[in-house]
Structure 1
């Protein structure tokens, strides 16, 4: 008797998406991860956090917002609906990775990690509403969204690589400096989340509990970490230049520096203009770009031998969209110069 096929196997036997399609699906997941952060911020900034006062339905009697709930109910419910769009995009990543020939199990696993983060964050979002916008739950809701963005970016990068073991392209001290930059940026984002939890934009017009800290003092700490991250970025650029790194990885550091400068300008504008909603929203969007840029810097410092199994022409694409030949032999010396990608 022939072995029965499950749904995934049946679909994989009929649909064979190209490597380019898989990459585009992974990129769409990155975009949606950013969109869900920005729209979640819009919910808070428009005081729509309790636009739907219960969860998973909008009211105890209705799944959708009623006319009496006004624009706040529409905004909150619209953000909930975007979660379904995000699930659909992540599902597409999983299916495309599963049906691509040859099947790359690593991509499928990364897709499922994204799916379960989305599911967990949906529950946290519900708890946020049921607890009346508890600032600690709201903060964890944002940080889980950042975790989703992290996995989405890694998945996108992995669609442009083979499944060979990664090889460092720079020496250990350079990698350690880069890791320190990543950790400092993560701390910057966490402190920014605390500023939000203690600041004036509580997410609802009614009195909402806030983190009992002086938000201006926390803001100063946030600014201090901005200087630390900028300093580490400059130090990393000079280090890569000193060890003879190729232009592509140095360019990712320059891109990070530019994003940091733009984000710093927005941060100062929002502070001195007393936190207008539009500028705060732009700052949240900028935080996503900063985190993506930092991940790009980190991922640019290693490579996997060979090419994408589904690619043709003997080339694979990296995050910058440039084509690269198969990895050359590892250079000798304490510092490995990056082979031109």
Structure 2
């Protein structure tokens, strides 16, 4: 029976990327995930959410914006086009991971997870337009983008590790403290989306755009409360890591998160007392991405994965196949005669 032609396998048969290339491709997916979040925020902050009033085309008669739609149509349509760029970057990561020798199925699965998140979020983006910027759909659109960023960061980390089972670098109670930190950071971001959904930046100049029926100042106070919780947990984790004499890398990652939180807090306070100017709100959205990336890096730094062991085939004949589990594989040596 003839083999099924798999395009990814055909590429893998002819091209084996370096581990460095795969790491670069993984980092590119992280960068693009951040860009998608920031440009999506720019669409809302420039009142361009309905710049293209329908989906998947820009208008009922045109795929692209017309001159009469002005700058808002261009901004909205440009953000839609970035989805194709993101798909291309994720596609490169998938292909490179699949072609890497030895094959690392975990990396390929993370690439495909990103692809389907992009596709799902594109549909949610269309529903956002068709529902006239329903604030709950807009919030889910942002949270799905944050999910994409999460998978991208994990893929970037996994591209720099081996495939052995993870080994904790600290005791379980310390790991549990990092879980609480990640959960609190996630809650902080979710509450931030509620602030956006209830605030004055509706995404379009039309007065018909719905908002979440909450006092945005009260929700902002809850958001600030969670900022203090996350800062406190970050400080507690740093002192705990020092007390247990953890490796230097986890402590450094916690310090990086602490710095990002301080900068994000300063931007948040300035934008609040300046009556949320659009530019500062956009910078704050970028900062939220950095906070989430920092929280994930703290969590991932508390364990390590070595290269998986190489298990040779039972045969000791020259040229016998090798069961490749780690990053490198060797042929078994020829038996002496």
How high is the TM-score relative to the length of structure 1?
0.90
Tell whether 2:161 aligns with 1:151: no
Deviation at 1:200, TM superposition (A): 0.2
Alignment partners' CA distance in 1, 2:307 and 2:104: 14
Alignment coverage as a number of residue pairs: 312
Alignment partners' CA distance in 1, 2:94 and 2:30: 14
For the pair shown, the structure with the greater C-alpha radius of gyration is: 2
What's the counterpart of residue 175 of structure 2?
A: 175
Deviation at 1:306, TM superposition (A): 2.7
Alignment partners' CA distance in 2, 1:64 and 1:285: 28
Give structure 1 stretches of 5+ with no counterpart.
Answer: 313-341
Alignment partners' CA distance in 2, 1:311 and 1:287: 38
What's the counterpart of residue 249 of structure 1?
A: 250
Deviation at 1:98, TM superposition (A): 0.4
Q: Does the CA contact (< 8 Å) of 1:90 and 1:111 recur in 2?
A: yes
Alignment partners' CA distance in 2, 1:244 and 1:232: 18
What's the counterpart of residue 71 of structure 2?
A: 71
What's the counterpart of residue 337 of structure 1?
A: none
Deviation at 1:4, TM superposition (A): 4.1
Deviation at 1:248, TM superposition (A): 1.1
What's the counterpart of residue 275 of structure 1?
A: 276
Aligned-residue RMSD, C-alpha: 1.3
Q: How does 1:215-294 map to 2 (within 5 A)?
A: 215-294=216-295
Q: How does 1:1-341 map to 2 (within 5 A)?
A: 2-207=2-207, 208-306=209-307, 309-310=326-327
Give structure 2 stretches of 5+ with no counterpart.
Answer: 309-324, 330-337
Alignment partners' CA distance in 2, 1:305 and 1:26: 19
Alignment partners' CA distance in 1, 2:307 and 2:98: 21
Alignment partners' CA distance in 1, 2:171 and 2:193: 34
Q: Does the CA contact (< 8 Å) of 1:197 and 1:210 recur in 2?
A: yes
Deviation at 1:185, TM superposition (A): 0.4
Alignment partners' CA distance in 2, 1:4 and 1:144: 34
How high is the TM-score relative to the length of structure 2?
0.91
Deviation at 1:305, TM superposition (A): 2.5
Q: Does the CA contact (< 8 Å) of 1:19 and 1:311 recur in 2?
A: no
Q: Does the CA contact (< 8 Å) of 1:174 and 1:236 recur in 2?
A: yes
Alignment partners' CA distance in 2, 1:305 and 1:72: 50
Q: Does the CA contact (< 8 Å) of 1:18 and 1:310 recur in 2?
A: no
Deviation at 1:247, TM superposition (A): 1.4
C-alpha distance after superposition, 1:290-315 (max 9, x if no partner): 00000000000001133794479xxx
Alignment partners' CA distance in 2, 1:173 and 1:101: 37
Q: Does the CA contact (< 8 Å) of 2:257 and 2:295 recur in 1?
A: yes
Deviation at 1:246, TM superposition (A): 1.8
Moved over 6 A (4+): none
**Bigger mean CA deviation after superposition, 299-308 or 60-69:** 299-308
What's the counterpart of residue 323 of structure 1?
A: none
1:132–1:38 distance in 2 versus 1, CA, 3 Å: same
Q: Does the CA contact (< 8 Å) of 2:50 and 2:132 recur in 1?
A: yes
Q: Does the CA contact (< 8 Å) of 2:133 and 2:203 recur in 1?
A: yes
Alignment partners' CA distance in 2, 1:138 and 1:4: 42
Alignment partners' CA distance in 2, 1:63 and 1:153: 34
Alignment partners' CA distance in 2, 1:91 and 1:35: 17
Q: Does the CA contact (< 8 Å) of 1:202 and 1:210 recur in 2?
A: yes
Q: Does the CA contact (< 8 Å) of 1:90 and 1:114 recur in 2?
A: yes
Alignment partners' CA distance in 2, 1:204 and 1:158: 40
Alignment partners' CA distance in 2, 1:4 and 1:306: 31
Alignment partners' CA distance in 2, 1:145 and 1:172: 30
